[in-house]
Amino acid sequence: MIKNQTAILMESVEKSFKGLQVLRGVNLSVKKGSIFALLGSNGAGKTTTINILSTLMRPDKGRAEICGYNVVSQPEKVREQISLTGQYAAVDEVLTGRDNLRLIGELRHLRDTAVLSDALLGQFGLEHAANRRVSTYSGGMRRRLDIAMGIMGDPALIFLDEPTTGLDPQSRSAMWEIIKDLAKSGKTVFLTTQYLEEAEQLADRIAIINDGIIVAEGTPEELKSTLPQGVIDLSLKNEQELTAVTSLLQDYSVKCDITMLSLTVVTDGSVDQLADIFSRIRQNGINISSFTQKLPTLEDVFYVLIGEKQREDI
């Protein structure tokens, strides 16, 4: 990727905490004006990656740049280029929506703060609540205000760390449209999310991080094409049978959904493997309620690559 078209560059970045290596040589390159999603389980290194790129944390090794500026040697230049919105809205609940925006404008020494504030209130659909205290806002409204405050000053790059966590489906859908509009306006959006559908809907490119290493990167379609066309869903009658079939198929990549009493099994698409799976189940006296074959999803790719290992996020 040509350097002047690169919004984010990471080369062999490492980071450890008290002897625990969290990032193990991360390499990333993100094009300007794109939406890039970083996926991973809790503890995989997503938040640490954002903290390094936003100058909140120094890497132990490697190089990281934002719009050509080094995050270690040129942190002030980097901060001029970015906006960071964390997992929880950082708004002042005592102030009104308009006052929150004006305060950010004044802290950034911007001109025409009042005009900019009103424009952002309109852009994010908050003009009707501009003079209300933020304590009266819904979760979706607070999140929209938080992002509006983040782009006050027109940053080139916006970090969104799990931007729709805790939002209802309607608010999440509205947030998706806001993120798409930000990219259409020429801004680069770097987001982390645990919602795989969200990444698939929004991102131009996706990277999957596991245990501090980027294990896959590409467009949603490129990632899905890495799996064979042999994904099947099996429905069982009860939890006991579900557990038994999971054990029988432990040498396959299997995702178990106890709530739905279903299994998703990834095969190589061959008749031999399908026959093997159903033969094992039948020989153990278990009847499948139903099964379907489907095309691989991003969720299938995610679980094949990282399994279901979970840790507390660092």
Please report, for the chain, the start and end positions of each structural domain, with discontinuous segments joined by +.
Answer: 3-223, 231-295
Output the CA torsion sign for 265, 269, 273, 277. positive
Instruction: Write down the pLDDT at residue 312.
Output: 37
Annotation: CATH topology of 231-295: Alpha-Beta Plaits (3.30.70)
- Per-residue model confidence as pLDDT tens digits over 125-150: 899 999 999 999 988 888 889 888 98
- Per-residue model confidence as pLDDT tens digits over 258-289: 989 999 998 888 889 889 999 999 999 998 88
Q: In degrees rounded to 5, what are phi and psi of residue 225?
A: -70, -10
Considering only CA atoms, which of 162, 156, 190, 157 is closest in space to residue 175? 162
Q: Looking at residue 225, what DSSP letter applies?
A: T
Annotation: CATH topology of 3-223: Rossmann fold (3.40.50)
Mean pLDDT of 80-101: 87
Instruction: Write down the pLDDT at residue 3.
Output: 54
CA distances from 287 to 112, 157, 248, 283, 284 (A): 70, 53, 14, 10, 9
pLDDT value at 43 more than 90 = no
Mean pLDDT of 11-36: 95
Same fold across 3-223 and 231-295: no
Instruction: Write down the pLDDT at residue 89.
Output: 65
